[in-house]
Amino acid sequence: MTYEDQQEGVQPAGPCWLIATLGPATGLSGKLITFDGSAFAVAGYGPVNPAHILSCERQWDLVWASPDARALVEERANAASSDETEPVAAYQPAVPATALPRMSPRRRWAVALVASALVLIVAVALLPGLVGHRPSVAQQPLSQSPALSQPVSRSSLNWAGYVATGGQFTSVEASWSQPTASASVSRHFSVWVGLDGANNTTCEQVGTVAWTGGGLAFYEMLPRPPVYDPAFHGFSSLELPVHIAIAPGDEITARVNYQGDHRFQLSLLDQTQHLSFSTTQTLMAATCTSAEIIVETHYQGGQGPASFWPIGFTGCKINGRSLSAAHLTLLWTSTPPAARPSPLLRDGSTFLVTHN
């Protein structure tokens, strides 16, 4: 499952904006609310009314992607209630995924007025202490807050996600909700974390596989064949020591840790079913020169890749730190319909993979 030779490219604009993350109070911690230009949806579940999002804000323990994200939900809810919904054309996917659609002129005017008043109040209160001093970071405009470094963008035949290179890597982990797929077994896709594979012929990975109505857990120590859940006999004669019938919506956490002396611990937890497995494997040829968090498409017989709901990755770490601390390459699949990762959120540990 190593990726093919890469080609330089520009990341296509993502088809979704990140709006908010559901908190632990819901039992659905980490699930993302997205907006595709016409409707809001909870990743892995389906559409949700903007008014319902606002009414359940506290109950769902929402963590907003930005103040503009909440303003967009509020504006859409108000527009729906007054039958004055703005045309969808105002929210074309050509807008970069880091930027949300602009607010209506009336709302921008109101926000600007309130912001101006707040700035004036703060300036009057702090004026004596500002004389002769440079402005502190807290006094800088919000638009000047430090941005995450931009990763290199490349196309791949069947990988979509983030790859870290340029050092030695000893651990990688991420959480996601098992996606709903629209695909036959011959057109399945996998979601995994791993070490190696980006610049060598080995890859130590663990994750899940999905197709319509089904899913399973697996790990792989390339160039050895993958090891799958014993409930599914069509992929490999090698079987996991435990049966985990992965279902759409299950909350998954996967980790790979290098323990030294060519030994790797690969573990997977299905938090929804309270099932897990962990195995320690040895691979002498491993180099630990890359780390990956990937959605990988598979297809046979000339059929295109599977389609799926947006997959939200949360709690992503490489060497125990957020992704933003690593030298990253953003990969998007060149085989249509393309799978594309979003930019990282400000926490540096959350992103979305969507599929056209």
Task: Among 6-10, 70-74, 117-121, 278-282, name the most confident range.
Answer: 278-282
The model carries a pTM of 0.64
Neighbouring C-alpha atoms within 13 Å toward the C-beta of 192? 30
CATH topology of domain 152-355: Jelly Rolls (2.60.120)
DSSP letter at 239 equals B
For residue 319, what are the CA distances in angstroms to 99, 194, 215?
29, 12, 28
pLDDT band at 314, cuts 50/70/90?
Answer: very high
Q: What is the pLDDT of residues 149-176, one digit of tens each?
A: 578 889 888 899 999 999 999 999 999 9
Q: Which sign, positive or negative, has the C-alpha torsion 176, 178, 181, 187?
A: positive
CB atoms closer than 10 angstroms to residue 337: 13
> Both tokens of residue 301?
């017989």
Contact between 311 and 320 under an 8 Å Cβ cutoff? The reply is no
Residues of the chain with CATH 2.60.120.700: 152-355
Q: Which of the two residues, 127 and 40, has the higher pLDDT score? A: 40
pLDDT band at 29, cuts 50/70/90?
Answer: low
